Amino acid sequence: MMQRLYRALTVLATPLIALYLGRRKALGKEDPERFRERLGVAGIERPLGRLVWVHGASVGEALAALPLIGRILESHPELHILVTTGTVTSARLMAERLPGRALHQYAPIDRPDAVRGFLDHWRPDLAIWIESEFWPNLLADTQARGVPMILVNGRMSDRSYRRWMLMRGVIRRLLGGFALCLAQSDNDAERLGDLGATEVLTVGNLKSAAAALPADPAALDALRDALGSRPRWLAASTHAGEETIAAACHRDLTPAHPGLVTIIVPRHPERGPTIATGLRKIGLTVALRSAGDRITERTDIYIADSLGELGLFYRLADIAFVGGSLVPHGGQNLLEPARLDCAILHGPHMANFAAFTAAFAAQRGAVEVADGAALAAAVGGLLGDRDERRRLMAAAQTVAAAEAGVLDRIAAALEPYLERLGR
């Protein structure tokens, strides 16, 4: 009943959806050249043969899927893979990083006509959902066509669990359509089963299988030359409010650490100019990467508002605060700086990576800070204590090494479904 009501509402809301998408396009959140893909109109031809469809919401899910995509294509040379995401930034990254026999399209909006056009064109033979973006029309129509569906890296946060408990009939039908759900943790598995998943296995977090973030060697050498021996630290994947906190830390620390450079990598690069303007207004000298600004001896803050270069900046600064954690966002992936020899700090809001965060805490491989004052104290302490930096780096690497093997477990669970495609 609820599914039919939702379907009807998505049809009736067509004018409102059009206004919403138009607004997103005006804000640069939709790709004008490929916008028809969002309406279910394919931008490229379907390759011949069997096609595995991998869907993730955005950058994090798409990047997490890359090792799995590579493994599938390597072990099954007869297959092609279609990757769908919903954001402009993820599409750009996929254009750069997808291997041969894998292609990207924007996911259709969850309106019946868009979903129908998408499925009519692509005719997937197997669908793999990454994490927890459950679009009712897309899931129901895929299931109705007899396409086997598998949930990989399944996650169910406290907030999502409480919300879905109010709509148990809807989520039970959606999760019941998955032939297999591979959960990140036992807690996620329990919640998925409680909400209606019938076949659930705990295999670990796919994000732990990712390779170290890449970096352009020439760009790395140029920035190292520009920074020289100046002390520096990194505020990575920051969200609104955290850049101001980082700037306050910089001001507090500069008297004890002359020449200090604070590098800020905003989670959403398009915010870079706005952040720069705000920090300049409080008297800081800011260099903006997107504007081609050079680091000079007067630079206080370097804002790296570029796409896909986080690995570059984790290599430049061995003290890294991981953002989205001093504000109630849920945090970002601590394994990324761990793989690149960083002493890691994060705030208390790490719900999206709770299992990872617990593993780091158990090994004393990261420092949790409660607020801006604690962050300044922790960064200042690490700037003056090389031995503690090295201890944190080694502990973080221990955590990262312990997470190895998840890709093998996921690939083994998927193999029976992939083998059937070759029959």
Residues designated as active site: 61
CA angle centred on 74, ends 71 and 77, rounded to 5°: 135
Q: Is 101 left (phi over 0), alpha (psi -120 to 50) or beta?
A: left
Q: In the structure encoding, which two tokens stand for residue 351, read together?
A: 């719900």
Place of tokens 């939709």: 30
Q: In the structure encoding, which two tokens stand for residue 249, read together?
A: 């830390």
Distance CA 74, CA 69 (A): 9
Other CB atoms within 10 Å distance of the CB of residue 187: 16
* DSSP single-letter state for residue 135: -
- Exposure of 169 by Cβ count < 10 A (0-12 exposed, 13-18 middle, 19+ buried)? exposed
Amino acid letter, 273: P
Distance CA 370, CA 349 (A): 9
Q: In the structure encoding, which two tokens stand for residue 81, read together?
A: 């893979």
* Count of residues in the chain: 423
> What are the φ and ψ backbone dihedral angles of 235, each rounded to 5 degrees?
-110, 105
